[in-house]
Structure 1
Amino acid sequence: MRSGPSSSASAGRGDGGLAIGTVLPQTGSLAYLGPPMFAGVDLALREVNEAGGVMGRPVSKVDTDSGDSATNIASQSVDKLLAQKVDAIIGAAASSVSESIIDKITRAGVVQFSPANTSDKFTTVDDKGLYFRTAPPDKLQGRVLGDLVASDGNDTVGILAMQDSYGTGLADQVQKSVTEGGGEVVERVDYDPKAPDFSADVAKIKMKNPKAIVLIGFEETAKVVAELVKQGLTADRHKWYMVDGNMSNTNFLKMPKGTLKGVKGTLPGAAAPEAFQKKLLEVNPKLTEFTYAAESYDAVTLVALAAEAAGDDSGVAVAANLVDVSKGGEKCTGFKECADLLKAGKDVDYEGVSGPVDFDDVGDPSVATIGVYQYGANNKFDAGKAVEYRKGHVAG
């Protein structure tokens, strides 16, 4: 647990100009999430700078690639950003990638703010008070997904999860929730996402013939799905459930129509509002995916508001004010509205596009929404119900 930015992090006032870096996926297994996340960052920065910037100066930005956990790209990107003296870094998307760079970032006294990390490890990590996220931790998504599986009447469940901090952490939470709901996880396989094929992994699930199959992974899930179909474990015979890492509407469009019909899944965060999607499309007209765009937008807006509130763009000053601008003051939306209140001497409570945010003392959102989605015959998903989590309990 932490009480605030540590004095062991590099201190000292900023140079008066807020600089933001991004370490987001341009390549690798989460590359499909890159465009909406970059668009969210760019939209927020556009609005901040159109409103006069932070402390009267425009906010600058440097974009870099995070790659994935199979590469060293993220570490090289962080070196580049630190050399350019950024005050805050937005990213990474994958929890395992963030784990590999968090020490380097926070030791430098720079804020690391992820729009998409969900691993529970970040709740207790030694981050010197400099790590924040707008995505809720896996214990929330896992609980909602496990409850969904149980409420659909599945008393026997198989889990296929990628073996990394994201996959195993989320699988642990789903398993716990299913068991507490009276169900039984009859087989769980934590697989190597880089494996050439998944026939042996799927065969283990087939042996136990579960009513439901939970798929936790990234883009390799498309190969897992093909193997499930090949071995007769189709979605019309077993109920499939997926998660934010593999629910992309681009992953499954090449498959025969109906392959994913009826499949359900969960995504942290509410669906991006239509008006917000239109603004994102002005930034990038080619967007087809909006996952984590709102969380990225909120991350940048909150960093800018924290610097404005502090009157200081240094990472330590930004971190010291992020909790305050996220809750407890006069509610406001968007940078301009909130910044005008700050300039008038008011305390603000930023209400994000992704939700209320309201950071707790370890930089996690204390209020979060988990969306429940369902695929149609076209192998694309549409928004379903949203489940809100607030300080320790889930409410439907």
Structure 2
Amino acid sequence: MKKSFLIAGAAALATGISSAVAADIKVGSAGGITGPIPDLVAPMMAARDLAAQHINEQGGLLDGHDYVLVKSDSKCDAKGAVDAGQKLVNVEQVVAIVGPNCSGATIGMAESVTIPSGVVILSESATAPSITDLDDKGLVFRNAPSDAYQGAALASMVMESGYNKVAVAYANDDYNKGIAEVFMDAFKAGGGTIAASAEHEPEKASYTSEISTLASSGAEALMVFAYYGSSGTTIVRNSLENGLFDMFFGADGMRNEQIISDIGADNLRGKIMVSAPSSDTESSSYKMFAKEFSDAGQDPSAVYTPGSYDAAFLMALAIEKAGGTDRDGIAAALMEVANAPGEMIMPGEWSKAKAAIQAGRDINYQGASGDIEFDAKGDVAGIYSLSVIDNMGQWVEK
């Protein structure tokens, strides 16, 4: 498969790049710059930019084209993502898109814009299980594992923490509804009890009434599946202020410093645990990324930042492997550069990767976020950890 693709790549070089000549090669960088999680998204966008910087410092794409990430605000919702996608595809004429961050945004952009236009997208954090079964024509990838895995992992973590009877509050968007459903099924299958559950609209001023009903079930803890900036913080605050719950669990949409600032570390310490995809911080790939990101004044432990770097780097590798900007070639090449076998390429090793591709050798990118092996649906596996708030008032892995 890999060797035969080199012929297709050569054909793309003869056609796809001809329109670019000496121009920049533009790839969309779609993210929820505004919306419910801007503080989570900002470092993710910075990690993508770092990948582009490394590529351009080492010769750029193909025969010297700059790799330009064109930012567009997908607002973490379907409508915003459709608008962002139309701008990127029809106005900016990007050849591919990294992002969006949120599941509903990714589904909206994919179904309404990128799939009909034949544009590949790669999200580092869109985790809704429903993405797996999109009729995407092989154009939708994600290098974060599906919540089909995270929900089940979180169920095990909650029970291992000593909680066997919980209530569940979840926002009515694709991401939060999806992971809540997986969690509840897995928790019950593992012998736990879902004492009560309730779906809610985001952005309400108070959720005290809904939480009171959940608390009356006798649950030992409250599962909060919500974005911290839309309803998650309010639910936790209302619960604590009214003495309704004093133990909370959530997923990656809740892991942000803003919830600590809003409620106070002393009020949350020992009372909240959240799951998120985790990186092997001892791996050489992670250490290379962490040093560079830290040197740039950023926090490499910020959720999804290693995967954000990987997504931008992988997309560039795919363009290089395809030999041009032909959109079909880029989509096929993503599998080629990510999956084994091949010469190992780590974060920052653009010149090494470029030389290997030009010499006709297979490559296998080993990401900062871990080993990235796409399956036939464009999904990857992953590992998870629980984060708690430490004595310094910061999120740390337990």
- TM-score by length of structure 2 reads 0.87
Q: Higher mean Cα deviation, 371-380 or 161-170?
A: 371-380
> Does residue 160 in structure 1 map to residue 169 in structure 2?
yes
TM-superposed CA distance for 1:23, in Å, is: 1.3
Match of 1:332 among 345, 350, 365: 345
CA distance in 1, matches of 2:171, 2:280: 25
CA distance in 2, matches of 1:313, 1:274: 31
Q: What is residue 13 of structure 1 aligned with on the other side?
A: 16
Q: What is residue 8 of structure 2 aligned with on the other side?
A: none
Q: Higher mean Cα deviation, 251-260 or 220-229?
A: 251-260
TM-superposed CA distance for 1:199, in Å, is: 1.0
Q: Is the 8 A contact 1:109 1:316 kept in 2?
A: yes
Match of 1:98 among 106, 124, 127: 106
CA distance in 1, matches of 2:344, 2:222: 42
Q: What is residue 124 of structure 1 aligned with on the other side?
A: 133
Structure 1 unaligned blocks of 5 or more:
5-10, 385-396
Structure 2 unaligned blocks of 5 or more:
6-11
For 2:126, the aligned partner's letter is N
Q: What is residue 390 of structure 2 aligned with on the other side?
A: 376
Q: Is the 8 A contact 1:160 1:188 kept in 2?
A: yes
For 1:184, the aligned partner's letter is T
CA distance in 2, matches of 1:311, 1:194: 46
Match of 2:46 among 21, 39, 42: 39
For 1:23, the aligned partner's letter is A
TM-superposed CA distance for 1:27, in Å, is: 0.8
SS of 1:245's equivalent in the other structure is helix
SS of 1:253's equivalent in the other structure is helix
Over residues 48-94 of structure 1, what are the superposed CA-to-partner deviations in whole Å (9 max), with x where a residue is unaligned? 1112112122212211111132x833322222211221011111111
- TM-score by length of structure 1 reads 0.87
For 1:161, the aligned partner's letter is Y
> Does residue 175 in structure 1 map to residue 192 in structure 2?
no
Match of 2:373 among 353, 358, 367: 358
TM-superposed CA distance for 1:344, in Å, is: 2.3
For 1:319, the aligned partner's letter is A
Change (3 A) 1:289 1:249: farther
> Does residue 255 in structure 1 map to residue 263 in structure 2?
yes
> Does residue 280 in structure 1 map to residue 268 in structure 2?
no
SS of 2:138's equivalent in the other structure is coil
Q: Is the 8 A contact 2:293 2:300 kept in 1?
A: no
For 1:77, the aligned partner's letter is A
For 1:95, the aligned partner's letter is S
Q: Is the 8 A contact 1:270 1:371 kept in 2?
A: no
TM-superposed CA distance for 1:378, in Å, is: 5.0
CA distance in 2, matches of 1:286, 1:359: 28
CA distance in 2, matches of 1:247, 1:271: 18
Q: What is residue 393 of structure 1 aligned with on the other side?
A: none
Q: What is residue 31 of structure 2 aligned with on the other side?
A: 24
For 1:247, the aligned partner's letter is R
TM-superposed CA distance for 1:271, in Å, is: 7.0
CA distance in 1, matches of 2:278, 2:213: 33
Change (3 A) 1:289 1:192: farther
> Does residue 206 in structure 1 map to residue 215 in structure 2?
yes
CA distance in 2, matches of 1:286, 1:204: 42
TM-superposed CA distance for 1:234, in Å, is: 4.3
CA distance in 2, matches of 1:157, 1:31: 29
CA distance in 1, matches of 2:261, 2:393: 6
Q: What is residue 8 of structure 1 aligned with on the other side?
A: none
Over residues 219-272 of structure 1, what are the superposed CA-to-partner deviations in whole Å (9 max), with x where a residue is unaligned? 22111011111221343xxx3212110110222224244222122211123277
Change (3 A) 1:84 1:157: same
Q: What is residue 334 of structure 2 aligned with on the other side?
A: 322
For 2:257, the aligned partner's letter is N
Q: Is the 8 A contact 1:23 1:90 kept in 2?
A: yes
CA distance in 1, matches of 2:151, 2:354: 36
TM-superposed CA distance for 1:21, in Å, is: 1.0
CA distance in 2, matches of 1:194, 1:222: 10
For 1:383, the aligned partner's letter is E
CA RMSD of aligned residues (A): 2.2
For 1:178, the aligned partner's letter is F
> Does residue 301 in structure 1 map to residue 313 in structure 2?
yes
Q: What is residue 234 of structure 2 aligned with on the other side?
A: 223
For 2:315, the aligned partner's letter is V
Q: What is residue 391 of structure 1 aligned with on the other side?
A: none
CA distance in 2, matches of 1:231, 1:313: 57
CA distance in 2, matches of 1:110, 1:257: 43
CA distance in 1, matches of 2:119, 2:167: 41
Q: What is residue 9 of structure 2 aligned with on the other side?
A: none
Q: Is the 8 A contact 2:159 2:192 kept in 1?
A: yes
